[in-house]
Structures are given as structure tokens and as C-alpha cells.
Chain A
């Protein structure tokens, strides 16, 4: 556990990718295989099966630390992270043990098996045998809130160096829903023959953003253009009679889209498609936030199925007749899909993303202007002779997004942030005018420099009108420009609208609150 807690701490404070790779490689060269498989699992976003009830943990920590509840709450407010707060307020390590990470995970799984009333004892015993860093990691495991600032790619690079296996092979093997209890580290990394294979997606090929000059890409004839649909990138797999749907976050989301099961009836077996999961009705895309009602729910009800109809918009084909065809050119792969067109689109739920005809970059530039009205995020440009590669490689695939919408809005509430900004007021709520009143319409976090955050912090402290638990109502005075990718109608929000990816683009110190936008003008942007 000591090793892992140190790994976590060192990674947490390291910013440079190359250093991270080195640190992970170093850890993997020393740790035992039982720990390694768990670390890989955690790095891949895996969680321990059952989450602990955090209010219980808090209760027990308060009792063991022997402090009043309010003092715990004050501490939590200032630290911003429950696992960390608990690790800091508890007494130092009292018992010496040498349990490894995997032994501690087993310990946690065992706690889940004992009766409720005996759990407290087990948890406190664990706290007694861990130092502060280890307690923190242990608590993170308990609460399922593990987030390590390391990309899958970094881990893959580290393993590739250490195990001397190509990166694309490793990333393939790490995909899919494997679990440390059912597979060993060795078997996972040498998993060619394992049956899990059938669910495994290919690593996604991602595009780089292009600035405003597609001319630099050369001859328009070499390029395929298509809309960049505003949904969730996904991979649809049909192998050996089973259907799997993966999101780009490498999450298996098959169950969120039960209607896709019917695709099996007309989509040939041994096929893997790359595309966009999106809400769609009457030959037209629907706003993104509708899709969120699918993703956010545990159970997909009949009502949701009806209100948020979905399709899988096909971009590409990666496997056909059980054969990996990613090496073929895009042009060839594209022909393979269109050959299937009749068969595929006769059924519902599958669409082929149309390519856009264009002769010159200027013509395409004009077409791109229509992105927003087509409910797309812009255009994708793909080199016609490109293979389907791994990760975000520069050169063959580009996204040419439209500029975000911007809105001038007034800061009206501020709240302390979480995690890295836990002791500063960094969660802001913004308002626009509606019949002479300011109505809240968006929350936004990112986008300010540390210096600006400090400045806003000072303002908030000096201009609080009201405190509501952690939220402060501030004097309406500061105007910010909020950028977003789109605006749609929303019944859940008081303002009646919802923004897609709102963020602060800049502080409009030059503007007075009277100059902020109005709700009416925003509603005009609704499609």
C-alpha cells in the first residue's frame, strides 16, 4: 500500500507526461502482479464494486477523531475532499501492518460481506494501520472517487516500454470489461486468446482541431468532409451474435440503448462500426442535452425511450467479417459501408453520416457556416487515403469546429469549488436580464487565470449580500463573457434554456451590468 500511496502522490504532483511515464514504469517494474492488475484497473477508471455510504464513513471518522460534527464540517469545507479530510483529521498510524494494495482491496470487499454493525470496527482498524497518505488512498478506494490525473495513453506508453509490447496492442488488450478478480496481470497483457475478446473495441482515432486555414491541408480532392455531429462518439460491435456499444470514454453503454438490440437482426456479424450516438427524429438531429437524459439514468424507462429517440450515425468501419480492416484507406472503408447501405438503413437506428461534396476550401467554408443550424459542431476533414490509427495523431484527421456562441452575463452567486479549488470561490452562477430582473441561466467554472480568480475571490468576500450554506449571493457588478457550444430549450431550468459546455471565456471589465445580454435574445438563438 505504501508503494501505491507514494505512486499516487508523486503522480498527483507531476505535470510532465514523460515524467509520469517514467514514474509508472518504475512502479510497474517493482510492484507485484496482484497489485499491478488492480492499479491498471484503477487507472482505467475501474471502481471497487460497492461504494460505501459516505455519511457513515464521516460519522465513524468523527467518532474516532473525537471531534464535534461541526468541526468536521468546517474542516471539510476548507479541504473540499471527503477522503482527504478524513485522512487529515484522524490520529496518526497506531498499528503496524504490511498489507499490499490488493490485500487492502480484498479487505474492503470483505467488509462489504460482514454485517452492517461490524463494518465500523473493520474500517477503524484499517485507519489505525495506515499513515495519512495511505488513509487518503484507502478512503478514495472506499468511496469510489478515485481519479488519477493520468491518461490511458500515458499508462500504455509506460507498459509498452516495460513489457516491450507495441502500444496499440496494449491499448487493445486494456479495453473491454475485464476485472482483476477474473484475470491476472500476465493473462491480460497476453490476452490474445481470451474469450472477452468479442466485446473489445478498437482504440479510437481522434482528430486534432484545425484553425481557420484548411488551405494548408493541400488539395481539397484528397479530403473527405462530413459533419461533426453533436452526440457521443461510440463504437458499435456485433460479434458472435452479441452487440456491444462503447462510448469514447471507453465505457460499455450497451444497456443505456436497449433499442439497439434490434440492430442485430439486420447488421451482419463480425463488424465494428465507428460513429456518433445521438438523438434523432424525423430525419433531423435533436439537441445534445436530450441525450444526457439517457446517460445520466440508471434505468432507461419507456418514457425516456420515447422522448429521446436515438440513432447510431456511422462514420467508419473498422472490422468486417471478423477481420481488422483499419489498415485500409478511408476511401476503401467508406465504400464498404456504402455497399451495405441498403441493408443497414432499412432498419431503424442506423444512419450513415453523409459526406459533403465540395470543390474548393472556400466553398466548404460557406457550408461550414450552416453548422449550427444543422445542429452540428462543425466539420470533420479526413484524408481519403488515411488508415484508422490509434489516439490523437496529427496529420490525417482534423476537426474544423465552429466558433462558440458568446453571452455577456452577470455574476450573481459564488460557491467554493471542489478539489483543487476547494478553498476558493470558483463555482459561479451567472444571470441575464429578463424584464428588468436578473435571472440565473448558467453555471460555469473554468476559464479564468489564477490571478483573476483571486481578484473575484476578493470581490466575493467584500460584496456578499447573503449567505446560503456554502453559496454566497453577491452584488451584481461583474460581467463575464460566457462561451458555449449551443443553446437549447430546457424544462428543468428556471430560465427555460440550457447551455452546452458553458465556460467563462473572459472577464468583461469594460462592461457594466446594464450591458449584459437578455433572456429574450438568447431564446432567439434556440432552434
Chain B
């Protein structure tokens, strides 16, 4: 926990840069916090000042409170605090997600937050950033997690929706309300039928809409609609909808779940769903390896996920890697 590094210190409150006196994704309240993205395990309430990518700002306000003191900046735009040059770079995780780059006296550290390498069409694509120290996630840090191309997965989703429609069923697809839901909405074949969203999804869509994301407008699946309206439609819902009586209004329906965990058969069955799509906003095994290599970093710190496994693997492959205990959760139901 108290591992140290020239630029970064790993403290009880989170990843800290003492020279700039800023924390990155702290899990307690601090004075200055830089936020990689607005998922709740990375963006926590109570800090005095927040800095994040512009697109994250409305979501942060929505989630942490309208009155928070938050500044938004563009990718590659740098600011300087006490001699430390700070900039954000696309992480490809969800719209507005960023890797944080810190530079001081020629030393560079990058904190990746969560990331994925494949361009999903909606999110600014990941850009590798050269550095001396790289802090990486490892949510799916096992070689059994290798994603199919996004195109193939959406072919599967579209086919599933089409078949359900033919059978007169609704298709309910679950995924995080922030990120996954919009990625689904953006990439599904909208000619198949009508699309609705759970309230948790539509409210995020609204918050994001100011950011010119080109998201199609969808309606909230509320009581103004009847069963008839839902027949053959696609309903995008958060994972908390699984097993929830809210689903009853869509009967008959097929229940899908879009998550990296769905790559494993056991996980699919346990969720009590009809079909799983291994669609993840995190890097798979190969992407993690590629990302680490491309930074050229001398020191790798590994956070949430299969940290111990990934650290051991990196060390065996000649990297100087170390495990970092954090309170990030990764891809979980709670988001």
C-alpha cells in the first residue's frame, strides 16, 4: 500500500502525486482530484476540486452533485501545477475516459484508469502514451479473456434481436448504464425495431447529449407504454434489472447481458439470463499485454482485477511490475 515512486505515491486515499499535490481517482475526499472517468469506483464524492475530461463533466455533476467544483479539459491539453505537466489522453473505455499523464523533470508517469484498445466507434480510441511508469488495470488479466471483434459481437446481438422479434418477443439487453449502454445503442442495427431505455440509461443519455455524441434519442420504458409497444423492440437496461420485477412488463422477452464476464459459460448460467454477449469496455488479455509493451515503461503498477496473476506474468516476461492494492472494482454489477 505504501509503495513509493518518484512521481507517484500510493497512499491510503489513493494514487497521489506529491509534487503537484493531486490525487488520481482517490477513494476518499481530498483537495484536488483528477478523475479518469465517471464510473463510481473511480469518481467518488467529497473532494474540493475535480479535474476531468470535458465529456466527463456533466456525468460527474449528475453523479456527484451539481455544485461540485469541476474543470473539464480536452485530450492532449496540458496544465501545469507546481512544475508538473499534466495532460489527459484517450483511454477508449467510455466516452470521455482518460489516461492521466504526469511529467516532472523529464520523468513521465501514466495512470490508465480503465481502458480498452479496440475502437468502438463512439468512444475516442485509445492512444498509447510513452512513459517511465505505467499504472494499468487488469480486470480481465487472464488468457481466457480474449474478445471477439466488436463487429462479430454486434452481429450476434442483431441476430438475437431479429429472431426475438420474429417470435414476437421483446429483447432486453443489460449493460452498465454509463458507457456500455451507449455503446450498444450506437452500434446496434437500428433498422430492426424500436429501442427503449431503462430510466438509469436514458438519464445518462441526456447528460451525455450535450456533448454531441450523436446518440439516437430513445424513450424511457415507462408506464405510458403498454406491452404491445415493446413487442419486437430492444430495451437497454442496467445489470441491476436482472431478476427485477420491472422486467415483467416486457413479457414475453429474452434477456441478454453484455459483459466481458460472459466469455465464460459458468458466468452466463449463473446470471439467470437467456444469452450472454462478451462485450467489454476493458482490455482483454492480449490488449493488456500490448498496452503495457507500447508504453515502454520501466515500471508497471497493476491495479484492479487479476493483479497477482498479471504481475507474475509481466515479471516472468522481463518487466518490472508490482501489485497495487486499490479500491477499484472493475467490471461488476454495481458498476
On A, residues with C-beta under 8 Å from B are 12-15, 65, 67-68, 70-71, 74-75, 78-81, 84-85, 88-89, 419-424, 450
Contacts and interface: CB of A to CB of B under 8 A. Distances in A.
B274 A74 contact: no
Given A71-B309, A71-B313, A89 B270 contact: no
Contact of A420 (B269, B276, B306, B313): B269
Contact of B270 (A14, A75, A81, A420): A420
B140 to A, nearest CB: 10
A75 B309 CA distance: 10
Given A75-B144, A84-B264, A68 B269 contact: no
B143 A65 contact: yes
Interface in B127-153: 142-146
B265 A450 contact: no
Nearest to B242: A450
Most buried by A among B264, B265, B306, B309: B265
Contacts of B216: none
A270 B27 CA distance: 79
A391 B272 CA distance: 28
A364 to B, nearest CB: 41
A355 B143 CA distance: 61
A89 B143 contact: yes
B267 interface: yes
Contact of A421 (B146, B266, B274): B266
Between A14, A84, A85, A88, the greatest number of chain B beta carbons within 10 A of the residue's beta carbon is seen for A88
B263 interface: yes
B144 A89 contact: yes
B267 A423 contact: yes
A74 B143 CA distance: 9
Nearest to A14: B274
Nearest to B265: A84
A78 B142 contact: yes
A450 B268 contact: no
Given A15-B274, A450-B272, A74 B142 contact: yes
Most buried by B among A67, A68, A75, A419: A75
Interface string B251-282: 00000000000011111111010111000000
Given A68-B316, A74-B142, A74-B309, A13 B274 contact: yes
B293 interface: no
Given A71-B143, A75-B144, A78-B144, A450 B263 contact: no
A interface, over-half SS: helix
A67 B266 contact: no
Given A65-B143, A71-B309, A88 B272 contact: no
B319 to A, nearest CB: 15
- Give the interface size class of chain B: 20 to 34
A85 B276 CA distance: 18
15 contacts: A15-B274, A65-B143, A74-B306, A78-B264, A85-B144, A88-B143, A88-B144, A88-B146, A420-B265, A420-B266, A422-B264, A423-B264, A450-B243, A450-B270, A450-B272
Contacts of A74: 142, 306, 309
Contacts of B243: 450
Contacts of B266: 79-81, 419-423
B312 interface: yes
Nearest to A80: B266
B264 A421 contact: no
A85 B146 CA distance: 12
B312 A79 contact: no
Given A68-B316, A450-B270, 19 more contacts: A13-B268, A13-B274, A13-B276, A15-B274, A71-B313, A74-B142, A78-B144, A79-B264, A80-B266, A84-B264, A84-B265, A88-B145, A88-B146, A88-B263, A88-B264, A419-B266, A421-B266, A421-B270, A423-B264
Contacts of B309: 71, 74
Contact of B143 (A67, A423, A424, A450): A67
The 5 A-B pairs of least Cβ separation, nearest first, read A88-B144, A422-B266, A420-B269, A89-B143, A75-B144
Contacts of A89: 143-144
A423 B270 CA distance: 10
B132 to A, nearest CB: 27
A13 B275 contact: yes
A420 B265 CA distance: 7
Contacts of B268: 13
Most buried by A among B144, B264, B267, B313: B144
B265 A81 contact: yes
A282 to B, nearest CB: 48
Interface in B223-273: 243, 263-270, 272
A100 to B, nearest CB: 23
B268 to A, nearest CB: 7
A79 B316 CA distance: 23
A79 B142 CA distance: 10
A423 B265 CA distance: 11
Nearest to B264: A79
Contacts of A15: 274
A263 B250 CA distance: 61
Nearest to B243: A450
A75 B316 contact: no
Contacts of B275: 13
Contacts of A68: 313, 316
Contacts of B263: 88
Contacts of A84: 264-265
Given A80-B266, A81-B266, A88-B263, A75 B274 contact: no
A75 B272 contact: no
A12 B264 CA distance: 12
Contacts of B316: 68
Nearest to A67: B143
A13 B312 CA distance: 35
Nearest to A426: B270
Nearest to A76: B144
A89 B285 CA distance: 10
Contacts of B142: 71, 74-75, 78
Nearest to B276: A13
Nearest to A72: B143
A148 B8 CA distance: 52
Contacts of A65: 143
Contacts of B274: 13-15
A219 B145 CA distance: 63
A75 B140 CA distance: 11
A88 B142 CA distance: 10
Output the residue of A12, A65, A70, A79 with the most chain B CB within 10 A: A79
A462 to B, nearest CB: 15
Nearest to B141: A74
B143 A12 contact: no
B284 to A, nearest CB: 11
Nearest to B263: A88
Contacts of B306: 74
Contacts of A85: 144
Contacts of B313: 68, 71
Nearest to B316: A68
A310 B145 CA distance: 51
A75 B265 contact: no
A84 B265 CA distance: 8
Contacts of A71: 142-143, 309, 312-313
A68 B265 CA distance: 24
A491 B306 CA distance: 42
